[in-house]
Amino acid sequence: MTFRNLSITLLIVLAISIGFILVVPVSQHNIYIINLVAGALIMGVYVASWDLLAGYTGLFNMGQLIFAGIPAYVVALIETNFNLFRPITILIGFSSAIIGVLLVVLPSLRVRSFYFALVTFVTPLILHTITMSFPAVFGGEYGLSKKRIFSPEVIYYATVSLFAVALITLRVVVKSRIGLVLQAIREDEETARSVGVNVFLYKLLACTVSGTFTSLAGILYFYYMGHVDPSIFGLTASFMVVVMGIVGGMGNLFGPAFSGGILSIVLEYLRPIGIYRELLYGCLFVAVIMLMPQGIGGAVSSWYSRKFRKKGSS
Amino acid sequence: MVKHILLYGLVQIGLYSLIAVGFTLLGGIVKLLNMAHGMIILSAAYLLFVFVGKINFPGVVSALMAVAFIVCFVLIMHLGFTNKLRNSVMGIILVTFGLGYAIQQIIIIVFGPYPVSIPVRIKSLNFWGVTVNGMEVVASAIGFLVVIALGMLLQRSKIGRAIRAVARNADMAAISGINISQVQLGVLAIAAVCMSLSGFLIVCIRTLTPEAGWPLLTTSFIIAVLAGMGSVWGTILAAAIIVYSELFTAFVISSVFKEAAAFVILIAVLIFRPSGLLGKRVMEE
């Protein structure tokens, strides 16, 4: 990746982040808006790290939120039961997520990639059952709650920084040699292997990077909500990540990140239409796959480049 | 306890293989990995519930109508959606997943989140001191009969040979004069009938909620992977393995880990024998 490209990305992300930080004074510390945007940013991180797997490596993770739910539950368990030094708590939560990533991912990486999709589809359902079945430990349907430790503003700034760091790191990874190898694996695994790429190792690397940011976002989610419940392992939650990623357009990081943020805010404002909201999302998803396989982000960028090319040639 | 596990298992295997056989047929022969599988079974159950429970049609008429609906739906799903994406496995998985999700939401909108069931009164049976639900025995028997008939159809008949040829290598089958799209539509119809039948049987045994479709999908998927996609005899064997490991876990450890046991088996199969127990690496080509 050239230095210039990197610095442009840096500038864009920094500008966006400053814009997000300005939300706090502009909204006059309106807790509702701050929390709404923080939630959207966390979703953006989930979807962007999902895109590293699905869009760049060709690993369709149908249960991205396993990587967020495991550390969120571990941190919640420690926070509610013990009184540990907080960074250690977070570290334990984070390492539990990485162990979770390895446990889920290692067996399914060796076989064809749609098995990966199916295994990651099954895993959260099992975790959902387990968290629901031990109310004494996991709080059952109501989950684990803890009175907020940090003020909303602190959480908000932490979320904005995580968003910025995640986007920049993912962008750097994607534009580096590693990113090229990942895309080669996505296009043709056999060819990649035949030129001496250790496919398994690179896939594992992609999963670890993606899992890192998702788990950090998951831990932040717990501190932001003060609460975690089995719905994080629910089908709807993981489905939303895939919907947002597909709608945003796989394989360009920014599209998924922003569609994640924007759609989660839209979702919040669509609350009044109640149960029709989910149906709308299902239909939107099917329509995007059938009509715009590149997603809205991809459609916009190809339209833009077409227009640009026309101007250039005439 | 051994007696209980053995008998309870025996009365579930038939139903489990019937549930999974639609998935493995579509996955192995039409190359349609149908993530809407569980939700289609569930909608068959709900249709029967409406026809029998709400409108009070006679049972056979309702069942036939529900089967007709499901067959139409599966054919529309194939021709309208998945057939257009046949070059991308992931596209098929995603679009059927989205359709399944939409079906679930429609069920929630129409019926609400409440459980439904069609209670059937059949005297419970007693074998060697173990009491077994009579309807479960009937369901399992029907399941066994249908799946074995299907296996015989695939193995012995001329149509079956054509179907197996398409599963093995569609291009070669086309060259030797088999009308692939006709075979595929036939398999879709057969699978749809199996799905609706299993839906009818389940709704007579258990109470169903709109979420119940996803566990059905995961069970079928695990059984299909264990059996090898497209292998009908393997389905019975895999169903037996899954049923007994689930029952064993439920009896010895806790019923909470029932699904986890099946999942562990799935992972083991993916590591050691990705083509399934009786699979012939059809999907690998």
Chain A hits for B28, Cβ within 8 Å: none
Between residues 158 and 177 of chain B, which touch chain A (CB distance below 8 Å)? none
**What does the block give as tokens for A273?**
């239409």
Alpha-carbon distance B218 to A225, whole Å? Answer: 31
3-class secondary structure for chain A?
Answer: CCHHHHHHHHHHHHHHHHHHHHHHHHCCCCHHHHHHHHHHHHHHHHHHHHHHHHHHHCCCCCCCCHHHHHHHHHHHHHHHHCCCCHHHHHHHHHHHHHHHHHHHHHHHHCCCHHHHHHHHHHHHHHHHHHHHHCHHHHCHHHCEECCCCCCHHHHHHHHHHHHHHHHHHHHHHHHCHHHHHHHHHHHCHHHHHHCCCCHHHHHHHHHHHHHHHHHHHHHHHHHHHCEECHHHHCHHHHHHHHHHHHHHCCCCCHHHHHHHHHHHHHHHHCHHHCCHHHHHHHHHHHHHHHHCCCHHHHHHHHHHHHHHHHHHHC
Give the best residue of B270, B275, B282 to mutate against chain A (max A CB count within 10 A): B270
Chain A hits for B283, Cβ within 8 Å: 112
**What does the block give as tokens for A182?**
């990942």
Q: Which residues contact A58 (CB under 8 A, 6 or more apart)?
A: A113, A185, A186, A187, A189, B90
- b or e along A72-111 (b: 16 or more beta carbons within 10 Å of the residue's beta carbon)? bbbbbbbbeeeeeeeeebbebbbebbbebbeebbebbbeb
Closest by Cα among B149, B243, B226, B230 to B183: B230
Closest by Cα among B69, B66, B40 to B53: B66
One-letter identity of residue A43: M
3-class secondary structure for A26-75?
Answer: HCCCCHHHHHHHHHHHHHHHHHHHHHHHHHHHCCCCCCCCHHHHHHHHHH
Is pLDDT at B49 greater than 80 in this prediction? yes
Q: Do A286 and B274 touch (CB under 8 A)?
A: no
Q: Do A279 and B81 touch (CB under 8 A)?
A: no
Alpha-carbon distance B215 to B206, whole Å? Answer: 13
Q: Which residues sit opposite A228 in a β-bridge?
A: A144
Q: Do B266 and A121 touch (CB under 8 A)?
A: no
- Number of C-beta neighbours around residue B115 at 10 A: 12
Q: Do A125 and B94 touch (CB under 8 A)?
A: no
Q: Smallest Cβ distance to B263: which of A126, A235, A289?
A: A126
Alpha-carbon distance A124 to A232, whole Å? Answer: 9
Is the reported ipTM for this assembly greater than 0.85? no
pLDDT digits (tens, 9 = 90+) for A96-140: 988 988 888 887 777 777 778 888 888 888 888 888 888 888 887
Q: How far is B103 from chain A (nearest CA, A)?
A: 8
Is pLDDT at A15 greater than 50 in this prediction? yes
pLDDT digits (tens, 9 = 90+) for B224-280: 888 888 888 889 999 999 999 988 888 888 777 887 888 888 878 877 776 766 655
Question: Tokens 């396989």 appear where?
Answer: A293
Give the best residue of B76, B77, B97 to mutate against chain A (max A CB count within 10 A): B97
Under DSSP, the state recorded for B27 is I
Q: Smallest Cβ distance to A289: which of B95, B225, B284?
A: B95
Chain B hits for A125, Cβ within 8 Å: 214-215, 218, 259
Helix (H) / strand (E) element for B104: namely: helix B89-111
Residues of A with CB under 8 A from a CB of B: 58, 60, 62, 107-108, 110-115, 117-119, 121-123, 125-126, 129-130, 133-134, 235, 239, 242-243, 246, 275-276, 278-279, 281-283, 285-286, 289-290, 293
Under DSSP, the state recorded for B255 is G
pLDDT at residue B146, as a whole number: 93
Residue B266 forms contact with A (CB below 8 Å): yes
Give the best residue of B85, B88, B267, B271 to mutate against chain A (max A CB count within 10 A): B267
pLDDT digits (tens, 9 = 90+) for A211-264: 999 999 999 988 888 888 888 888 888 888 888 888 888 888 888 888 888 888
Model confidence at A17, pLDDT cuts 50, 70, 90, reads: confident
3-state secondary structure (DSSP) of residue B203: helix
Cβ pair A137, A77 in contact under 8 A: yes
Q: Smallest Cβ distance to B105: which of A111, A246, A278?
A: A278
Q: What is the pTM of this model?
A: 0.85
3-state secondary structure (DSSP) of residue B208: strand
Chain B hits for A108, Cβ within 8 Å: 267, 270
pLDDT at residue A152, as a whole number: 79
One-letter identity of residue A52: L
Question: Which residue of chain B has the CA closest to A285?
Answer: B98
pLDDT digits (tens, 9 = 90+) for B199-209: 999 988 888 88
**What does the block give as tokens for A290?**
């059938």
Give the best residue of A279, A281, A288 to mutate against chain B (max B CB count within 10 A): A279
Cβ pair A265, A40 in contact under 8 A: yes
Q: Do B98 and A286 touch (CB under 8 A)?
A: yes
- The DSSP code sequence of B114-171 is --B------PPEEETTEEE-HHHHHHHHHHHHHHHHHHHHHHHSHHHHHHHHHHH-HH
Model confidence at A47, pLDDT cuts 50, 70, 90, reads: very high
Q: Do A118 and B274 touch (CB under 8 A)?
A: no
